[in-house]
Amino acid sequence: MRLFLAVAREQSLSAAGKVLRLDPATLGRRMARLEKTLQVALFVKSPQGYALTEAGSQFLERAAVVERAMRGVAVGAIAQSDTLTGQIRLGAPDGCANFLLPQICAAIGRDNPGLDIQIVALPRVFNLTRREADMAIGVSAPTAGRLVVRQVTQYRLHLAASQEYLATHGPINDLASLKDHRMVGYIPDMIFDRELDYLADLGAGRVALASNSVSVQVNMVRQGAGVGVVHDFSLPFAPGVQRILTDAVSLKRAFYLIRHADDARNERLARFASLMTAGLRAEVARLETLSETDLHP
């Protein structure tokens, strides 16, 4: 079960093998044996890695419960030696840093009181070669540099507007009608990643209210300033904002964990990365579920 948890969280045999200090081929055989024992496929194997099946996701939830119970068996000396300490600096785009990382890092901090976590929220690509951070979260996978990159989770985005704005300006029934509305989005010449150029793909035209910050854009939409593309995971923090034209526009993007290749054998950073990525997947799923209801955290 411990090996399964590592593969599920790292989403690849090689990454999990580094965390466990176990040969990937051996780890692969152990996972195959587990699936044979359970008589169910836990993973979808591809060149990109090991993705959980629906059965695998259900097993992950149960395995995590067992893991937490086992960790609580000997709280004393074991807890003292098993906690992370020191300082870790994490770079992230501001949408992730504002709406996801605070609660994730708060949970990690509670379990590791000797750990100092620094979140650097900047709307740009981090340079790990210059050691701007110990690791970073990105919205695309860099192809240059001595980096280890893996996809953490996908997330969804939709057009949205405040209920106040829609009540004043009337319903928006199709994409063509967007030209009659004020658009909220990124400052065009400050878009640091092609994956963020949402409005250009929609042919929305002029961006009347713009910011290089995702959280500022969400707040402008919340204040009734116009229509914008927003992350579904941000909607629970913006009461009164609702998705529109969901059948016509439904975007998917991904978060990637980016680490320097020289840190691949650093057990401390690997443990933090494992905790952080597991938390990121769970929090995106939780908030996206909330975004489809009227509930707010």
Domains and CATH numbers, the chain: 1-82 (1.10.10.10), 154-252 (3.40.190.10)
- Residues 108, 272: contact at Cβ < 8 Å? yes
188 to each of 82, 179, 225, 253, how far by Cα in Å?
Answer: 46, 17, 18, 19
Tell me the C-alpha distance between 130 and 121, whole Å.
17
Tell me the C-alpha distance between 150 and 92, whole Å.
15
pLDDT at residue 80, rounded to an integer: 46
Nearest CA to 160 out of 230, 239, 253 is that of: 230
pLDDT at residue 261, rounded to an integer: 83
- Residues 11, 50: contact at Cβ < 8 Å? yes
pLDDT at residue 296, rounded to an integer: 40
Angle at 163 between CA 172 and CA 211, to 5 degrees: 85
In tens, the pLDDT along 78-112 reads: 444 568 888 999 999 989 999 999 999 999 999 99
pLDDT at residue 152, rounded to an integer: 93
Q: Do strands 209-210 and 147-162 pair parallel, antiparallel, or not at all (unpaired)?
A: unpaired
pTM of the predicted structure, to 2 decimals: 0.67
pLDDT at residue 189, rounded to an integer: 77
- Residues 135, 258: contact at Cβ < 8 Å? yes
Backbone φ and ψ for 102, nearest 5 degrees, come out as -55, -50
pLDDT-flagged residues of the chain (< 50): 73-80, 294-297
pLDDT at residue 127, rounded to an integer: 57
Backbone φ and ψ for 89, nearest 5 degrees, come out as -110, 125
